[in-house]
Amino acid sequence: MAAQDPNAPACVRSADWLFQFARRGAAGGRCRGREGEAAMLRELRQRWRSYKYRFVPWLALNLRRQRRTLRYVPESSQDKIIADEDVFETLLKTFKALFINDFSRQADILALLPEAKCQYLELLTVEQKWSEGNSYSHRGTVYRKHEPIFFQSLGNPFIFRCIDGVLIDGNDKGLSRSVYRSCSRRDQLGPFQMSDESWLTATLQNPLAVGQYVNNCSHEKAANVCYQEFDVPGHFPVELKQYLPNIVYSHDIESHLRCVVLVTLRDIKQGEELFSNYYTVVS
C-alpha cells in the first residue's frame, strides 16, 4: 500500500484511506465469492452423486461401463430368485421368532386372538432358531406411480424403484421420516400395528430391516445377495404385521403391500459384508 503524505489535507487522507479500504474489501469479497462458489460446486457434486442413479439418460450412457455390476433377466417374470411361497414362509418363521422373543409385550394383541395365543404358547415350548434363508428387507413408504414423492426424493439416496414403477422410500430422516410415521399411525387398529416404526429409532424391532444400507457390487466384490420384490398376501397374520418395515402411502388403494427382500445368492459367513446389484436390466 502506498504511504500517505502527512502534510496532505485531512479530507485527502480520509479519501485515500477509504479507497484503500474499499480495494481491500473488494479483494476480500472476491475471495469469499470464490470460496462460496467452490462450496456450492461441492454441494452440487454431492447431490449429483446421489441423484445420478435415478437419471435415466446417465444410466443409459453408463450401462456399458457398469456391465459387470448389472444383473440381466430375460423378462420380469424371471426376476425372482426363489418362489414367493418360500419368501412368505421365511418371513413367517422370522416374524414368529421375533414375536415369541417379545412375548411379554404382546398381551393386548393376544387378548383379542385367543386361538393364536394357544398356538404361540405351544411354540414357546419349542426352541426357536433363525432360518438360514433369512431375507433382509428394504424398508420404507411405498408409492405408486402417480403418487407425490418429489420433495421426499430431493437429496435422498434411499429410494428403490421396482420393475413396475413402484417406489419405496427408505430414508429415515426429514420429510420421508414424517410421512412414514404418519401413514403407519393412520393404519393402526387398536393394539394392532400394520407396520414397524422401530427402524426410525436407534432400537430395531426387526433386525433384518436394513436392506437399504447394502452396497452395490463392484468388479472386485461380487454380489452375494439379490433384491426380490414380494407382495404381502392379504392372509398374512395380523399380529405379525408389526414387523413389516413398509407401509403404503395411499390408504384407499386396494392392493397388496409391496416389500423388497434381499435373498442370499450363496452361504454368507458371519461378519461378511453384503453386496447387491443396484441395477437389474429386463430385456
Quick one: cell of 198? 422401530
Question: In this predicted structure, what is the pLDDT of residue 122?
Answer: 84
Do 133 and 253 lie in one domain? The reply is yes
Do 35 and 110 lie in one domain? The reply is no
Task: Note whether 266 and 224 are within 8 A (CB).
Answer: yes
The structural domain count of the chain equals 2
Q: Which residues of the chain have pLDDT under 50?
A: 1-2, 4, 8-13, 130-133
Question: In this predicted structure, what is the pLDDT of residue 208?
Answer: 85
Amino acid type, 260: V
Do 79 and 163 lie in one domain? The reply is yes
Question: In this predicted structure, what is the pLDDT of residue 195?
Answer: 96
For residue 179, give Cα distances in angstroms to 129, 235, 255, 280.
Answer: 35, 26, 19, 28
Give, in degrees to the nearest 5, the angle at Cα 144 between 164 and 214.
70
Do 49 and 88 lie in one domain? The reply is no
Question: In this predicted structure, what is the pLDDT of residue 130?
Answer: 47
Question: In this predicted structure, what is the pLDDT of residue 66?
Answer: 58
Do 129 and 24 lie in one domain? The reply is no
Amino acid type, 18: L
* 232 backbone dihedrals φ, ψ, rounded to 5°: -70, 125
Question: In this predicted structure, what is the pLDDT of residue 134?
Answer: 54
Q: Provide the residue range defining the domain that includes 49.
A: 7-54
Question: In this predicted structure, what is the pLDDT of residue 15?
Answer: 52
Question: In this predicted structure, what is the pLDDT of residue 48?
Answer: 77
Q: Is residue 167 part of a domain?
A: yes
| Closest alpha carbon to 67 in 216, 214, 219, 215 | 219
Q: Is residue 68 part of a domain?
A: no
For residue 154, give Cα distances in angstroms to 45, 175, 223.
Answer: 14, 10, 28
Question: In this predicted structure, what is the pLDDT of residue 46?
Answer: 79
Question: In this predicted structure, what is the pLDDT of residue 169?
Answer: 96
Question: In this predicted structure, what is the pLDDT of residue 252?
Answer: 72
